[in-house]
Copies of this chain bind each other. A is one copy, B any other.
Amino acid sequence: MPKKKPALPRPTDTELRLLNVLWHHGPSTVREVWTHLGSDVGYTTVLKLLQIMREKGLVLRDEQATSHVYAAALSETETQTDLVGGFIDRVFGGSASRLVLHALGSKSVSPKELKAIRELLDQAEHDGK
């Protein structure tokens, strides 16, 4: 069985924005992250956030180059799975289906998405379990 992970702290909303940059652009320097973020935060703010996120284990950093390169510790998918799990527990008392109900209701879901979801269902059902 898979070794149990130490379990990282849940990223804050702001941290999530930085992680999104790292996921979509790959390992990046502070300046790169800062640039992709638009100009609503200062450079040193981004630096500090990344330093703290590193202490928390949310990101890793390569110090080879003069400008350190940061990378997300967990993939976007892994993080999403973690977040969804906690969210279901906190907000829906553990019921995934109730979450889906609201997911379908809160945002208008395109027919295309409906189709995709339906396929997921077929898939899930087929896997048994």
Chain A positions within 8 Å of B, measured between CB atoms, are 13, 16, 20, 77, 80-85, 87-88, 90-109, 111, 113-114, 116-118, 120-121, 124-125, 129
Query: Once the chains bind, are A105 and B81 in contact (CB under 8 Å)?
Result: yes
Query: Once the chains bind, are B103 and A88 in contact (CB under 8 Å)?
Result: yes
Inter-chain CA distance A88–B84, complex, in Å, is 10
Query: Once the chains bind, are B91 and A103 in contact (CB under 8 Å)?
Result: no
Inter-chain CA distance A81–B96, complex, in Å, is 14
B81, B90, B91, B97: the one contacting A106 at CB < 8 Å is: B81
A97 with B109, Cβ < 8 A, contacts A80-B92, A87-B87 known: yes
* 19 residue pairs A–B, Cβ–Cβ below 8 Å: A13-B90, A16-B90, A80-B98, A81-B105, A83-B91, A84-B103, A84-B106, A85-B106, A96-B107, A96-B109, A97-B113, A97-B120, A99-B99, A99-B103, A100-B100, A100-B120, A104-B120, A109-B124, A121-B121
Q: Tell me, rounded to whole Å, the shortest Cβ–Cβ distance linking A19 to chain B.
A: 10
- The interface residues of chain B lying within 8 Å CB-to-CB of A109 are 96-97, 124
B20, B91, B101, B107: the one contacting A120 at CB < 8 Å is: B101
- The interface residues of chain B lying within 8 Å CB-to-CB of A95 are 113
Inter-chain CA distance A125–B106, complex, in Å, is 15
